[in-house]
Structures are given as C-alpha cells and as structure tokens.
Amino acid sequence: MEEKSWLFTIGGLTFDGTVVTMTILTCLVVFGLVYYCTRNLKLKPTGKQNVMEALVDFVRGIVGDNVEKNEIKQYHLLAFTFFMFVLVSNTLGLITKVTLFPSDVSLWKSPTADPTVTLTLAFIAIILANYYGIKKQGVKSYFVNSYMKPVGFLLPIKLIEEFTNVLTLGLRLYGNIFAGEVLLSLIAGLGASSPTKFILALPLEVIWQAFSLFIGGIQAFIFATLLMVYISHKVEIEEV
C-alpha cells in the first residue's frame, strides 16, 4: 500500500501538494473553529463558548500538570495550538479519501499521516523546549541542568536523547494516524470489490472510523502532554 502525492514546483522547490493543501485546511479549520467560538464572549458562558472553554481548560490541565502554576500562561497558547492542530489534522483524514486514478495520486489525507509533517511538529516542539530552557535559565545553567545532571559522563546519551525525542514524538503520531488511514483505505477497497463485501465492509468501516477518531484524540492529547513534559524537563531546575 503506497500513497503517491500530487507534486508541484515553485521557485525550484518541489512541494507536496496534498500535504500543503491539507495543512492549510487544518489551519483554517482550527482558526475558524476558535474564531467562531470566541465571538460574543460572555461572563456567563453559553453554547459554543462553553465548548471552546472546555477545550482551553483541558489543555490548561495538561500544561498545569507539568509546569509550575505561575508559568501556565506562558505555555498555554502554544500547547493549545499544538493540541488543536494535531487533533484537527488527525480527524480531517478520516472524512474521506480522494484518489486520482489511474496514477494513484492521493489528494486527501491527514497531514499527520505524513512522517515529514509529524517530525517537523516534533522538531518544533523540541526546539521550543530547548529555547524555553535557555530563556529561563541562561545558556550555562541550562546546559548543566539538561546535559550534565545527574552525572557528567551521561552527556553523549543526553545529546542523543534530544534526537530520539524528536523521532519518538513524531513517529508515534505518524504511525498511529497513517496506520489508521491505511486500514480505512483497505476496508474501503474491500467494500468496493463486490456488493456482498460492501455490506460486510460497511460496519467495519464505521467501527474503524470511530476508533480512528478516538485514536486521533488520544494522540493529540499525548502530543500536547509530551510537549509539556519535554518543556518542563528543560525549564525546571532539577535538584540533586
């Protein structure tokens, strides 16, 4: 099972059109949702405002579990954006599949079903964690705290850990979402092969979509949590 993307070139750079489109769509959906839900804010919340506040509070809980209380505000928006971006992009790919025959070009998928995207997100997360660490502690103290504790000779392992963090954070997300989509396409392919199998495949597809939706939510939650865990590791001074 291999998915080909629609490619185009601008100024010598070749872009993956599917990922680009879906990323833009994800951003628009996230922004539209948040924008729509934060109009006419009232002290006594109603309807859509409740939904958005529940989401914000949920992310606030994730952030609050990992950093000190007075620092929550600093990371809240970042965690919220990551959470919403991952959640929406995970969910978008479940809606449908658009494939261009006969070249087998896939026009619709979750941006997070592409490893480059998830690794980029993970990379941003790790960079930010390091950035916040330096910002809060200063370069020297940050270096000592992050790489020389509890003992100095762990330095190489600690350095490698930074890269493995990027890989685990990114590939976990990619694996979950990509696998979900692959299975969805397989079931869809099965259903398309004959009328009898269509009836058989329909409930399977429904179940798997529900499960993928659930997985998408869980992965967004895990991504936001790990982001905050990494940040808190860098930000907080470990006492030995």
103 lines the binding site for other proteins (CB under 8 A):
no
CB of 217 to other proteins, least distance (A): 19
66: nearest Cα among 239, 233, 178: 233
C-alpha separations of 110 from 24, 47, 103, 146, 202 in Å: 11, 28, 20, 34, 21
List 115, 175, 191, 217, residue binding other proteins (CB under 8 A):
115
222 lines the binding site for other proteins (CB under 8 A):
no
5 lines the binding site for other proteins (CB under 8 A):
yes
Query: Using CB under 8 A, which of the segments 69-77, 92-100, 179-187, 199-207 binds other proteins?
Result: 69-77
List 59, 66, 114, 137, residue binding other proteins (CB under 8 A):
114
Residue 26 vs 225, nearer CB to other proteins: 26
Strand locations in 96-232 (E): 99-100, 105-106
Residue 107 vs 204, nearer CB to other proteins: 107
Give the burial class of 209: count Cβ atoms within 10 A of its Cβ; 0-12 exposed, 13-18 middle, 19 or more buried.
Answer: middle
Q: Are 212 and 184 in contact (CB under 8 A)?
A: yes
Q: Are 121 and 82 in contact (CB under 8 A)?
A: yes
Cα–Cα distance, 223 to 64 (Å, whole number): 15
Question: Residue 68 is encoded by which pair of tokens?
Answer: 């000190």
Give the burial class of 32: count Cβ atoms within 10 A of its Cβ; 0-12 exposed, 13-18 middle, 19 or more buried.
Answer: exposed
Work out the angle between the directed axes of helices 47-66 and 17-37 (0-180°, nearest 10).
Answer: 110
List 59, 67, 75, 80, residue binding other proteins (CB under 8 A):
80
Residue 83 vs 137, nearer CB to other proteins: 83
CB of 198 to other proteins, least distance (A): 29
φ/ψ of 52, rounded to 5, equals -65, -40
121 lines the binding site for other proteins (CB under 8 A):
yes
Residue 117 vs 235, nearer CB to other proteins: 117
Per-residue contact flags (x/-) with other proteins for residues 48 to 67, judged by CB under 8 A: ----xx--x-----------
19 lines the binding site for other proteins (CB under 8 A):
yes
34 lines the binding site for other proteins (CB under 8 A):
yes
Binding residues for other proteins (CB under 8 A): 2-5, 7, 13-16, 19-20, 23-24, 27, 30-31, 34-35, 37-38, 41-43, 45, 52-53, 56, 73, 76-78, 80-81, 85, 111, 114-117, 119-121, 123-124
